[in-house]
Amino acid sequence: MKKNLSTILIIIAIICFMGLAIASGSNDPPTRETGNTGGNQATNNNDTPPPSNDNTPPPSNDDSNDNNDDINQVVDERFGVGDTATFSNLKITAEEIIINDTWENDDWSFFEPDEGNKFFAVKFTVENISDEHQNISSILLFDAYSDGVKLEYSFGAAHGLDGTLDGEVAPNRKMVGYYGVEVSENAKELELEVRPTWLANSKSRAMFAFNLTALG
């Protein structure tokens, strides 16, 4: 009986600890540092400028959230190319979005998109601004959506590009890499939701939005 009681108490303690960890992670809404939005956008891996530089996601029309609490500050927050989302531990900057067509020139390529799809990749710089090592994971820290539909990370979409978004980053150091997805060629928008830790909930995430129609 005592053994069962101890087991129950341990389970309760673990649940409480996880709840506290999630709650603490939720109080870290990102702040914005705006860069040259759209300036680094390219149509392919050769960095050829697109016909239009208009890759800025539409701003929220609701200005009533400016002075509200942390929950409301990030409800409609959307970042674009050149913008930086700054959390307490990480600064995440979207450098560019490209169509990754390297597979077309590789006779031995094992990766190619399904018919009617394209490989897109977003280049991010992740800077550790904390005093502790931070673990970065493209699977745990990033969620992708195309026109509102959930996507999975595509290794093939990032294949052949320099840098990944996986590994440990020391304090005051940076990681530069690509997040790849396979998207319908008719898709209009790509959204990447980024969190500073895998425990963070929706109040502590930054939504990067990209206009795919500007890429061709």
Residues 126-170 pLDDT 10s: 999 999 999 999 999 999 999 999 999 999 999 889 999 999 999
Let me know if domain 2-215 sits in CATH 2.60.40.1240. yes
Those residues of the chain that have pLDDT short of 50 are 2, 9, 13-14, 16-25, 37-40, 42-54, 56-75
Q: What is the 3-state secondary structure of the chain?
A: CHHHHHHHHHHHHHHHHHHHHHHHHCCCCCEEECCCCCCCCCCCCCCCCCCCCCCCCCCCCCHHHCCCCHHHHCCCCEECCCCEEECCCEEEEEEEEEECCHHHHCCCCCCCCCCCEEEEEEEEEEEECCCCCEEECCCCCEEEEECCEEECCCHHHHCCCCCCCCEEECCCCEEEEEEEEEEECCCCEEEEEECCCCCCCHHHCEEEEEEHHHHC
Q: Domain residues of the chain, as ranges?
A: 2-215
